[in-house]
Amino acid sequence: MPPKLIWRDNSTPVSEKYDDIYFSSEGAVSETETVFLKACGLPERWKKLTNFTICELGFGSGVNFLTTMKMWQKTKPKEGRLHYLSIENHPLKRSQLKKILVSLPELKKFGEELIKIWPGPVKGFHRLHFGDVTLTLVHDNVSCALNEIDACVDAWFLDGFSPSKNPDMWSDEIIKKIYHLSAAGARLGTFTAAGSVRNSLEKVGFKVDKKDGFGRKRHRIEATLKGKRVNKEITLKPTIIGAGIAGASLALAFKRRGIIPHIIHDKDFIAASHNKVALVKPRLDLQDRPESRFFLGSYIYAINLYNNYSPAKGVVHIPKSNDEMTRFKKLCSQSPLPKNHLKYDSEENKLILGESLVISPKLIIHDWLKNIYLGEEILKESNIIFLAAGFGLKDMPEVKNISLRFSRGQITSTKANLSSAVSYGGYAIPSGGQVIVGATHNRLDEHHPSIPRKSDDIENINNLKKFTGIAATLTGEDSRSSVRVTSKNTLPIISHLNKDTWLFTGLGSRGFTFAPLLAEAIVSKILKEPMPIGKSVWAKFNYTSVD
């Protein structure tokens, strides 16, 4: 998936596959300013809109994005937000990106921010935050990516390799998809002036102008659609029922946009999200399906968020059987994640998840809910409600027609000789001189789900010994039990129950991995912003929508 690069004159990166440069040797930043920003009427156009959306075909080294972000910071409107989507079928490795951006000192500040959270060559959607600038990368071929994008685009940067060397990027089919994703009055800039591209744009309704080219190029194209986009603001006063990871993730997504929600929380209820420690690791799938790409994207999104909280890094996963061992080896051979995230140690028969995290749920949730009022009643002025109460949903009439499954899980405080986190179906995590071992999976019965059971402690200790060989004893500290919510197909549930009520649940034991990106998707959908996940992924999770 990552490209092979050739360095021309030791300074200009060239794609070996397409035999074409990533940017002009005569000035990468100046090229972006002329060919794309000026061509699309920027920065003047974004000064008139609260939200402005750019979509780029060909992220490459990120020069266009970084130059755009630099201009945005100097000229942005008050309370404005910039959404930048970019499609790239051959994303760079972090080391390649770093080498390229070192040669562009004028972009150093923004380049360092990008490198820090760069997802690497991982298929699917990736959302990255830079204050009031949101970057959504789509690592896929251009046709599939445009099919999956849910956005209304104000400006297009067409920066794929030359039409003669990469014709698939410039076909009639692609231009039609660009048209259908465009807002009224959308503008387009590109370095090429190829007749086939001009004709395709004119056929779908763009007014095309040929301009003087940049550098050695004789000509380039600018294009405009008729109409003018009206600046429509959506005023939300949200109430979130539930202060676990689902509710806290929604709160974070709203706060990021300057919207402060009201939260209803039962202070006497012990939620599954408030365990002492939690693992954040990828759910891995041998098949390349929409949900598989979401599993990877949500994991990368989550660890970028949690790295701000000084978590412990690195988890070892022990296969429970020969079949699972074979599966892990196949997964690693497919390289769904870079090796620093995922590799198999054949000598010790274990999966090494080098970037997976051990986090403190209480620390994170407390920070995300900071400066938010937690009450017990819905405020009169609230105009949208989110049901994210986990086990608290069980008796809510609003969800009676949705099949939710509730299971009890218990964690146990032990003493054991263990220095770093290990998982094996269950998990064991060193924490504050103890080792937290969990978690059981049991159906609800007549017993109270939050009261710990001695039998579950024994089960946790026995499973740790069975799958890892590690012996553990009880510390005498109280164990902790809570309830998970899952769906029939084990995927999260997002449902627009009625005009002003949404359901967000079904996260199971992966709430800290899945919730942040899904909450970002829900808020993006409601505010009619570009989505951070593909249309097919949203359809997988979206139950009984009334959209």
- Least confident range from 57-66, 264-273, 502-511, 536-545: namely 264-273
| Phi, psi angles (nearest 5°) of residue 436 | -85, 125
At 461 the pLDDT is: 98
Q: What is the pTM of this model?
A: 0.95
Tens of pLDDT along 459-475? 999 999 999 999 999 99
Q: Is 137 helix (H, G, I), strand (E, B) or coil?
A: strand
Contacts within 8 Å (CB) and 24+ apart, 76-80: 76/43, 76/46, 76/47, 76/132, 77/46, 77/47, 77/48, 77/49, 77/50, 79/50, 79/258, 80/46, 80/47, 80/49, 80/50, 80/51, 80/52, 80/132
Residues across the chain:
547
Q: What residues contact 287, with CB distance under 8 A and at least 6 apart?
A: none
Tens of pLDDT along 66-76? 999 999 999 99
**Residue 91 banded pLDDT, cuts 50, 70, 90:** very high
CATH homologous superfamily of domain 234-277+360-402+488-547? FAD/NAD(P)-binding domain (3.50.50.60)
Please give the Cα distance from 73 to 524 (Å, whole number).
Answer: 22
Tens of pLDDT along 202-249? 999 999 999 999 988 889 999 999 999 988 888 999 999 999 999 999
Structure tokens at 368: 């995300």
Using the predicted structure, report yes or no on whether residue 269 has a pLDDT greater than 70. Answer: no
Per-residue pLDDT, averaged over 313-342, amounts to 95
CB atoms closer than 10 angstroms to residue 333? 8
Using the predicted structure, report yes or no on whether residue 23 has a pLDDT greater than 90. Answer: no
Per-residue pLDDT, averaged over 10-16, amounts to 81
Using the predicted structure, report yes or no on whether residue 546 has a pLDDT greater than 60. Answer: no
Please give the Cα distance from 93 to 109 (Å, whole number).
Answer: 19
Burial classification of residue 93, based on how many CB atoms lie within 10 Å of its CB (0-12 exposed, 13-18 middle, 19 or more buried): middle
Task: Compute the C-alpha angle 497/528/495, nearest 5°.
Answer: 20
Tens of pLDDT along 353-367? 999 999 999 999 999
Please give the Cα distance from 428 to 143 (Å, whole number).
Answer: 44
The answer to whether residues 445 and 418 touch, using CB atoms and an 8 Å cutoff, is: no
Nearest in space to 396 (alpha carbons), one of 323, 300, 495: 495
At 509 the pLDDT is: 93
Q: What CATH class has 5-224?
A: alpha beta
- Per 3-state DSSP, what percentage of the chain is helix, strand, and coil (rounded to 5)? 35, 25, 40
Domain ranges of the chain: 5-224, 234-277+360-402+488-547
Position 400, amino acid: K
Tens of pLDDT along 484-543? 999 999 999 999 999 999 999 999 999 999 999 999 999 999 999 999 999 999 999 988
Per-residue pLDDT, averaged over 293-322, amounts to 96
Using the predicted structure, report yes or no on whether residue 15 has a pLDDT greater than 90. Answer: no
At 545 the pLDDT is: 41
Please give the Cα distance from 14 to 191 (Å, whole number).
Answer: 16
The answer to whether residues 60 and 22 touch, using CB atoms and an 8 Å cutoff, is: yes
Tens of pLDDT along 163-215? 988 898 999 999 999 999 999 999 999 999 999 999 999 999 999 999 999 98
Please give the Cα distance from 162 to 194 (Å, whole number).
Answer: 9
| pLDDT, averaged across the chain | 93
At 547 the pLDDT is: 38
Strands 350-359, 278-280: pairing kind: antiparallel
